Amino acid sequence: MRTILLTTTALLATSSIAAAEIALTGSAEMGVAGGRLSIAGVTVQDLPTQFFQDIDVTFTLSGEADNGLIFGATVDLDEVAGGAGGDTDDDFGYSVFISAGNATFTLGDTDGALDAALTEAGNILNPGSINDESTSHWGYRGSYLDGSFDGQIARFSYTFDAFTGHLSVEMDDDDTGGIADPVFGFGLSYERDYDNLNIQAGIGYQGETEFLVQRYEFDGALVFAVPAIRASEFGGSLAAVWTLQGNALDTIGVGVQATRISGDFFDGEHHAIGFGLTSGPYSLHANYGVVEFDQNALPVTFFRAAGLGVSAGYDLGGGASVLAGYSTSTSEVGENPYYDIQQYSLGMNFSF
């Protein structure tokens, strides 16, 4: 989770009222990070504390037609360089949108309907960390079935009062003739401010896919996967953020989320809770989640993964902050402890 400050520069204006703008934003991170993977209590991979750096640059293009139609695109250079891999069919890292009134259609690297509707517990007042420990542990879910194919998603959203409805589809990009069912989704989100209290709620559904729907990784390598020939997911979330006045704490927030995951080989559930607070330049966050699967057609009848993520930040002003993060992930296979992972980082984030 990264905080990005926007700097907008108008580059082009036509003779009519319509105009186009290009906004350039970015962030950079530097620090140290490490971790450890254990199996059945025995360390099998140890990542010693090492240097970490990351740079992210995002272009946001927007314009308005003479008839009032809004159009635009976003390009994330960090994701394009790391995700495209020379495959021109991979739309990972950029998206295009058109908007008219309360309706918006987006195509490309964007959230599916379920992700767009839900507020994850791990995102409640989270200052972030340079290696994303607080949102990359095994108890966190945030993309659901998004990315089952090439990550190119079409989503239609319509806002009415405090509600926003979402419809999405991600299609199979396999050109070998093995066409899988598209991943369809729908969702409904709600957000309203009550004096100093902000309430966000969402509910949605997404399915079906013929790919792995649950991956457990360490240092980018696959450790364990729960397979499904066809799978779907249904879930909801609720978040409340309260801004205090005249108190030691500035803002406090809490959120919960739950999803039900069903497939040909398994049925599962995910539950998570998150908590965050800010006080002046200080920010603290923690979230905990559990995923449990009953695997009906596999030799292993039960699988459980849990994770805790924490982060702390100190805002230096001007777009600079100090960030620290830690996470621990555990799993059980057939009621026996199996994998155990710890990851940590300390560094600085610069937003431009």
Task: Answer left, alpha or beta for residue 78, where phi above 0 means left and psi between -120 and 50 means alpha.
Answer: alpha
Check whether 19 has a pLDDT greater than 80. no
Instruction: Find the angle CA(49)-CA(55)-CA(58) to the nearest 5 degrees.
Output: 150
Read off the pLDDT of each residue in 233-260 and give the average, rounded to a whole number. Answer: 91
Give the number of other CB atoms < 10 A from CB of residue 249.
13
Least confident piece of the model among 2-11, 131-140, 240-249, 343-352 = 2-11
User: What is the spatial distance between Cα 292 and Cα 176, in angstroms, rounded to a whole number?
Assistant: 34
* pLDDT value for 108: 94
Task: Look at residue 290 and give its three-state secondary structure.
Answer: strand
Q: pLDDT tier at 15 (50, 70, 90 boundaries)?
A: very low
Torsion of CA 194, 197, 198, 203, to 10 degrees: -90
Handedness of CA 229, 202, 290, 287 (dihedral sign): positive
Check whether 168 has a pLDDT greater than 70. yes
Across the chain, mean pLDDT equals: 86
Read off the pLDDT of each residue in 213-238 and give the average, rounded to a whole number. Answer: 86
Closest CA to 141 of 27, 313, 260, 61: 260
Higher pLDDT pick, 215 / 14: 215
CA distances for 205 relative to 28, 233, 333, angstroms: 35, 6, 28
317 near 310, Cβ under 8 Å?
A: no
DSSP type of residue 335: T
Task: Look at residue 11 and give its three-state secondary structure.
Answer: strand
CA 120, chain centre distance (Å): 8
User: What is the spatial distance between Cα 188 and Cα 120, in angstroms, rounded to a whole number?
Assistant: 14
**What is the pTM (predicted TM-score) of this model?**
0.86
Which residues is 347 bridged to in the sheet?
Answer: 31, 323
191 near 198, Cβ under 8 Å?
A: yes
**Hey, what are 248's tokens?**
């030691």
Q: pLDDT tier at 174 (50, 70, 90 boundaries)?
A: low
Q: pLDDT tier at 5 (50, 70, 90 boundaries)?
A: very low
Read off the pLDDT of each residue in 338-349 and give the average, rounded to a whole number. Answer: 94
* pLDDT value for 47: 86
Task: Give the chain's end-to-end CA distance (angstroms, integer).
Answer: 16
* pLDDT value for 178: 53
CA 94, chain centre distance (Å): 16
348 near 320, Cβ under 8 Å?
A: yes
Check whether 127 has a pLDDT greater than 50. yes
User: What is the spatial distance between Cα 26 and Cα 58, in angstroms, rounded to a whole number?
Assistant: 6
Least confident piece of the model among 11-20, 59-68, 126-135, 157-166 = 11-20
Check whether 255 has a pLDDT greater than 90. yes
φ, ψ dihedrals at 121, nearest 5°: -60, -30
Question: Cis peptide before 233, with omega less than 30 degrees from 0?
Answer: no
CA distances for 13 relative to 17, 18, 22, 71, 99, angstroms: 8, 7, 11, 15, 20
* pLDDT value for 210: 74
Closest CA to 229 of 207, 211, 216: 211
Q: pLDDT tier at 335 (50, 70, 90 boundaries)?
A: low
**Hey, what are 232's tokens?**
């779907």
Q: Using one digit for the tens of pLDDT, what is the confidence trace for 63-122?
A: 999 999 999 999 988 765 544 333 434 446 899 999 999 999 999 999 999 999 999 999
